[in-house]
Chains A and B, each alone.
Chain A
């Protein structure tokens, strides 16, 4: 566990308490069943914004708290534990691009609204179902044209950070922007978004590698959500094994299962270190690209195993919709495929290391 300052501890405790009491998995189940247009409860998101969570990586002069990425990760991890449906990750990432690459004008225009939760932003980058393909969207005379696949939280977003062949652009929802639902197993908001000559403003100040910087942030913050999920599956499974009796003894007393849990526990430890070091790298501003590969690749690996074992170790009850553990499996695969599969990340890692 990273060493937290007092501020961070308070923030984490607050997030944990809120997620446990106000946004348990039952709240996600409700969203899943009632299918609100945004794909999340707008009331819940408004509360999150009031608590300041939408402004954690935004400088104070633009209405944020500038607590930093470790703080953002702590909140996202807690929300991941209970599968809280919200655009917090998406909108945080969108804000971070503007912080990195926006002009003063763009910053004062958008950051206060993103910090207050009035505007929800999201990234629209990939054009195919696998991360890392070519970006073909083009811009001419301030009009952007192209189609983006599987845009996270597209339904609630009013501001898109769109990758075009020559850089990143801000596009507001409105004329020239249409979307078509892509309902994935995690039952969250995803859509194919088509920009047909939509008004676009370039984010000109971030340097040539702005897109890479954003993607690294996406990888790291997403892995924080995955860490929360893996942690929760582990805890719930361990509890279950300690309670369920077969052959006149608790399942936890079988050595075969003890060793399985010990393996998963070790996996979880590696995952936590990798994710926390990613968040620290973002706050420290050093070694970010490699740390992002390590964080997301480890998150992919550990959550993949954890979400599978969670079901297996529960037996029949793990296969039921009524029980929560299946939700984690269905969200896990979506996040594993987002912003870089393990294969992609390993390749990138080797490239960065020069071999």
Chain B
């Protein structure tokens, strides 16, 4: 175990390398990669690693990158790739395929605004575009969380009760290019945490057809199995968290991360790095006697509705900070969360930091003022901070 100054890009790659090596006695590591800002540093580090077994294949597009990952995964390799923004859009078809094949692929997305016009900064719209693709999705708040989540993502994905791909999201630049001291576990620890992968539908030497024609009645069954696997995620995740703590000595956060929620009237809901800004806001508000609280959604798929409902308790006003926009509707998180808010509460959507503007505590303070004045919900609002 060592502590190093790492960017979150490198944190993700480091975790993938450790996880890949942990599978050296079985199918090794596999990955198809294609660079895109702001993910490039991650795959550069990955490409520089000489795996004991397996390899990183540099391909000509994101679509092929995921295709290569699927091949590796079906062959029993522990599989990882990374992308962002329009790269994910181009990969989209195979993103669905990986999930529908029930392959435990892990992907890092350095969330970046979709273009054109071109913008390289953070926005969660790229990964949220894939919310219906059948992948599990995590949103991280700091470098260590990126490393830890990537490691546990493999464990979760490969659990025979789950067998689903996992997307580990990190904010472009705010995480991807920011260096902080990060604890890198030893290979021996990771070996203990991640046993060799045994995929039940792993292909062997004799030819088989995978993903042939599904008749309607078969599709119904497959979708049901997929949905049930999603339903088991939170339960399995609890086990994984505990085992993670046993091996690494720290416990990853749950699907939602509450802050000062016990008695909160006003709650700010966020995903990703905005969570830390929300905590600053809550501290400042509480100094003024306002009962504010924060809730960060860490697992977005499956959607942790129950956990949100119980965390929100008796909150009266809820501000959902959406760093994304579903055009023609509003923020994606807001639209999903509404149904789980306490009865009679006011849920206001603020789409803030679209295109990567720096969301500062002062911005949130003005939202708090706005929220305090509100008597009923307004149309989702776009807040400019850029």
* Genuine A/B complex: no
